[in-house]
Amino acid sequence: MLMSRSLTILGTSVIFALTFGIVTTAQTSPSRPPAPWAKASMKAKPVTDSANLSSESKPDVGTQAASDFSSEQPLQPSAIAFPSRISQSIANPSFQTPNPLAQSTQNPVFPANSANDGAGNVTPANPAPNELNSSGNPLIFPTNPQEVDTTTRQSLTLNQAIELALRNNKDFQAARIALEKSEANLISARSALFPSLTTEFELSRDNSAATELQNALSTQNALNSPIPTEPILQSESSTNATGNVQLTYNIFSGGERSAQIEKAEKQVRSSRLQVEVTAEQTRFSATDSYYALQGTDAQVAIAQASVEDASQSLRDARLLEQAGLGTRFDVLRAEGDLATANEALTRAISDQRTARRRLVQVLGVGQKVELTAADPITEAGDWTMPLETSIVQAYKNRAELEQQLLQIDIYEQDRFIALSSIQPKIDFLANYNYQNNFDNSVGIVDGYSFAARVRWTFFDGGRAFAEARKADRDMDSAQTEFAKQRDQIRFDVEESYYTLTSTKENISSTRTNVTRFEEALRLARLRFQAGVGTQTDVINAQRDLANARGRYLQAIIGYNQALNKIQRAVSNLPDNNLFQIR
């Protein structure tokens, strides 16, 4: 009896000492960074509302319950068995992310500290570095690996990314070029309002063989004549100057001239609207790509935290196995969970690299630049307009609708141009010409003429009416396209509005779940270390926590992307003027 009680006391002491040693090891292990999801304050500084039409400050938004995913203390490879690629990725600072859960008061679309010149042109307070701009030669064709090696790594804020996109994006540059072409076409069409004046001048030197033969015959006849006479000789060469000036003016073109000019004016307006559309789309694409990069940065940080959690579980399982309180099965389960976490980290790093290159492509920066996100992951602002007001505002602002109306007008001018081919046309012509022979004493002789010319095509085989009917059908198609575009705009606003509402609600719920699963994992570890829990409970708790972290950050990223989408759907916010395109 005494021996049994002694063994019980001894066993309890061993378990207590082992548990204390495990907890102490976990707290003092040099490979364990501070808990990445430590509790933080639930209040943050107010965020400027990027979509609000007023300048009122918004109430505080809830911050994320995390202290750090920062690169200030990078995760170190554990001594257990990291794959070499994962160890290099974890130790490489280029794969560490800034604190994605820190609060930021900077508005990502309409910064409060930017300068506005009153014409819609916003000058960022912190402009992007000029060395990131792409080369001025668009025909650069790299031929060796050194020319495409990413030797420059630059961290950018969202405002800087938008600035670079509006400066270097290829689609935006193409829209500007198309606008310049339309303006040149308008100048060409307006030239028909003026008369055309052409001149021609010719200076010639002639030495005719026929004249020389005539002179020879005249001399011979004079010699053979019984009565001597002087031969009549003609000049063998002559120098002549001739000139002609002609003025032509179309008095009446059957409506073709005015239709061509009005069509060109509509095309210029449509091209300017296309520049606006491309500018809005460029801003949207740059913002969306930036948020996507932030999402991949967060996934890398979450995967790193999961690797550390799995590493600690494996250490605990091995210590318990060595003390005789654990099984080989628990160790194998922990090793498998660590391998799975390493695989997730590898995929997250790959997605992060792809997102960085996609952002480089959208911004159109240089070939040797790699971009990283500098802004923390935080809610970008609030959308205060009701759904119905947002839809009406989108109808007023979207350039695509006005483009379709302009296209209807352009097709109408095509109809006038087609019918003008069978209308009478009246031209006025004036001609002045002169001639001067330098080998005689007559001097300059000149003349002029005036004429009015009428042309009328009575029958062209029905071509003009066929072209007019085609223009009529084009107008019908443009009207149908207008209706489709209007319905699509409403759908875009509604879809982004509903997504924005749901993701806004999900942020608070997922934040609460993160705190719950943190506590669940802590209790599961304590139970397992005390020998009353299982390794399966710890692994399930780790998996639930990793999923909760991912859902929380994706809720924030999804909210920002939905806010960006509804800003694109409504367009030209906050003052209904296009910004940053000049």
SS3 381: coil
For residue 39, give the DSSP letter.
Answer: -
* Percent share of the chain, pLDDT over 90: 33
- The predicted-structure confidence for 412-425, as pLDDT tens digits, reads as follows 999 999 999 899 99
79 pLDDT exceeds 80?
no
* Cβ count near 532 (within 10 Å): 9
- The predicted-structure confidence for 324-370, as pLDDT tens digits, reads as follows 877 888 888 888 889 988 999 999 999 999 999 999 888 888 777 88
With contact defined as beta carbons under 8 Å apart, do 90 and 73 qualify? no
At 234 the pLDDT is 53
2 pLDDT exceeds 50?
no
Measured CA to CA, the distance from residue 251 to residue 214 in angstroms comes to: 52
* Cβ count near 283 (within 10 Å): 25
At 169 the pLDDT is 87
| Cα–Cα nearest to 297, from 376, 380, 369, 358 | 376
Tokens of 199: 């001149």
With contact defined as beta carbons under 8 Å apart, do 545 and 39 qualify? no
Measured CA to CA, the distance from residue 97 to residue 186 in angstroms comes to: 52
Measured CA to CA, the distance from residue 102 to residue 69 in angstroms comes to: 9
At 493 the pLDDT is 94
226 pLDDT exceeds 70?
no
- The predicted-structure confidence for 366-410, as pLDDT tens digits, reads as follows 777 888 888 888 888 889 899 999 999 999 889 999 999 999 999
Higher confidence at residue 492 or residue 550? Answer: 492
Q: Which residues pair with 426 in a beta bridge?
A: 252, 454
Report, as an integer, the average pLDDT of 210-216: 67
At 404 the pLDDT is 92
B/e letters for 33-72, b = 16+ CB within 10 Å, e = fewer, are beebbeebeeebeebbbbbbeeeeeeeebebbbbbbbbee
Higher confidence at residue 364 or residue 438? Answer: 364
With contact defined as beta carbons under 8 Å apart, do 570 and 394 qualify? yes
| This model's pTM is above 0.75 | no
Burial of 359 from C-beta contacts in 10 A (0-12 / 13-18 / 19+):
buried
At 193 the pLDDT is 92
At 272 the pLDDT is 93
Burial of 162 from C-beta contacts in 10 A (0-12 / 13-18 / 19+):
buried
Q: What are phi and psi of 484, to 5 degrees?
A: -65, -45
Contact partners, residue 257, CB within 8 Å, separation at least 6: 192, 193, 250
- What's the Cα-to-Cα distance from 236 to each of 210, 239, 443, rounded to whole Å? 9, 11, 19
Angle at alpha carbon of residue 301, lines to 299 and 306, rounded to 5°: 90
- What's the Cα-to-Cα distance from 283 to each of 160, 336, 476, 565, 571, rounded to whole Å? 11, 44, 33, 11, 10
pLDDT bracket for residue 488 (50, 70, 90): very high
pLDDT bracket for residue 228 (50, 70, 90): low
- The predicted-structure confidence for 525-547, as pLDDT tens digits, reads as follows 888 888 787 777 888 888 888 88
Report, as an integer, the average pLDDT of 90-107: 32
Measured CA to CA, the distance from residue 160 to residue 126 in angstroms comes to: 7
Residue carrying structure tokens 């031929």: 143
- The predicted-structure confidence for 144-188, as pLDDT tens digits, reads as follows 776 666 667 788 889 889 988 888 888 898 999 999 999 999 999
Report, as an integer, the average pLDDT of 71-77: 32
| Pick from 245-254, 367-376, 434-443: least confident | 434-443
* Percent share of the chain, pLDDT over 70: 68
Q: Chain-wide mean pLDDT for the chain?
A: 74
Report, as an integer, the average pLDDT of 134-143: 65
Contact partners, residue 545, CB within 8 Å, separation at least 6: 37, 309, 514, 517, 518, 520, 521
484 pLDDT exceeds 90?
yes
With contact defined as beta carbons under 8 Å apart, do 567 and 384 qualify? no
At 530 the pLDDT is 82
At 356 the pLDDT is 92
Contact partners, residue 504, CB within 8 Å, separation at least 6: 559
pLDDT bracket for residue 428 (50, 70, 90): very high
| Cα–Cα nearest to 181, from 259, 270, 258 | 270
Measured CA to CA, the distance from residue 391 to residue 71 in angstroms comes to: 43
582 pLDDT exceeds 50?
no
Measured CA to CA, the distance from residue 267 to residue 261 in angstroms comes to: 10
With contact defined as beta carbons under 8 Å apart, do 57 and 381 qualify? no
480 pLDDT exceeds 50?
yes
At 223 the pLDDT is 65
Higher confidence at residue 548 or residue 52? Answer: 548
Q: What is the DSSP string of 264-318?
A: HHHHHHHHHHHHHHHHHHHHHHHHHHHHHHHHHHHHHHHHHHHHHHHHHHHHHHH
At 414 the pLDDT is 93
At 26 the pLDDT is 38
Dihedral angle sign, alpha carbons of residues 211, 214, 216, 218: negative
24 pLDDT exceeds 60?
no
Higher confidence at residue 558 or residue 122? Answer: 558
Range 51-57 contact pairs with CB under 8 angstroms and sequence separation of 24 or more: 51/109, 51/381, 51/382, 51/383, 51/384, 51/385, 51/563, 51/566, 51/567, 51/570, 51/573, 51/574, 52/381, 52/382, 52/383, 52/384, 52/574, 53/384, 53/385, 53/573, 53/574, 53/575
- What's the Cα-to-Cα distance from 479 to each of 265, 271, 473, 482, rounded to whole Å? 20, 19, 10, 5
At 540 the pLDDT is 84
522 pLDDT exceeds 70?
yes
At 224 the pLDDT is 67
List the 425-437 sheet strands across, edge first.
196-207, 237-252, 425-437, 444-455
Question: Residue 182: enclosing H or E segment and its boundaries?
Answer: helix 170-190
At 66 the pLDDT is 32
* Cβ count near 123 (within 10 Å): 11
| Pick from 43-57, 318-332, 439-453: least confident | 43-57
50 pLDDT exceeds 50?
no
Contact partners, residue 358, CB within 8 Å, separation at least 6: 289, 292, 293
| Pick from 70-79, 131-140, 390-399, 521-530: least confident | 70-79
Omega before 574 within 30 of 0, i.e. cis: yes
28 pLDDT exceeds 60?
no
pLDDT bracket for residue 282 (50, 70, 90): very high
Angle at alpha carbon of residue 111, lines to 107 and 114, rounded to 5°: 165
- What's the Cα-to-Cα distance from 389 to each of 230, 378, 393, 400, rounded to whole Å? 108, 26, 6, 19
At 120 the pLDDT is 40
| Pick from 73-77, 370-374, 440-444: least confident | 73-77
At 23 the pLDDT is 37
507 pLDDT exceeds 70?
yes
Amino acid in position 412: E
At 100 the pLDDT is 31
